[in-house]
Amino acid sequence: MRLLPALLKDAIRTLLRAVVRRPATVRYPEEKIEVPKGFRGQHMIELDKCVGCGLCARDCPSGAIVLVKEPGYSRGLGVPVVDLSKCIFCFQCAESCPKGAISPTQQLAPVASDPHDLVLDFRVVSVSHVGGGGQARQAGGQA
Ligand code: SF4
Ligand code: SF4
């Protein structure tokens, strides 16, 4: 019979602790969290370094990269376009790139209800301005 008061005491202590503590979660995406150093977020692809060799796409374990032909600054097989809805953020693509054109940023992947909005397409950024993290845009047959 001593068990019940002990359990009750424990439950009340747990409840009080939960009330006093700060929540473990944040209201993302309205609230941003500070990411740790070395965090692998959204990709940056420097198109001026890219030679369009396609190694990033070949080695991507989840098939998240396709190379798209782009008149103007497309080289080799084309410009790498990343589908963040497939990406597992392993950054094998960065390891495989012989030109060091891919690197992770501290930027969290965007939130979207439509997976097409998670296509990271650097073709919308002129080569001289590449470096700001690119932007996702509707794939809609463009990638
Ligand atoms: S981070 Fe990994 S899964 Fe994502 S595109 Fe690069 S190789 Fe593919
Ligand atoms: S591996 Fe590097 S150089 Fe080759 S296509 Fe991918 S980003 Fe461009």
Q: Which CATH architecture has domain 35-136?
A: 2-Layer Sandwich (3.30)
Q: Which of 73, 99, 103, 130 to mutate to test the pocket of ligand 2 (most atoms within 8 A of CB)?
A: 99
Index of the ligand 1 atom closest to the CA of residue 102? 6
pLDDT digits (tens, 9 = 90+) for 17-48: 989 998 888 888 788 888 899 999 999 999 89
Q: Where are the alpha helices (DSSP H) in 1-143?
A: 3-20, 55-59, 92-96
Residue 75, token pair as written in the block: 């080289």
Residue with tokens 């990709």: 43
Index of the ligand 1 atom closest to the CA of residue 82? 5
pTM: 0.73
Q: Residue 105 in contact with residue 97, Cβ under 8 Å?
A: no
| pLDDT on residue 1 | 63
The domains of the chain are located at 35-136
Residue with tokens 């809609």: 140
Residue 59, token pair as written in the block: 């080695």
Contacts (Cβ under 8 Å, ≥6 apart) of 141: none
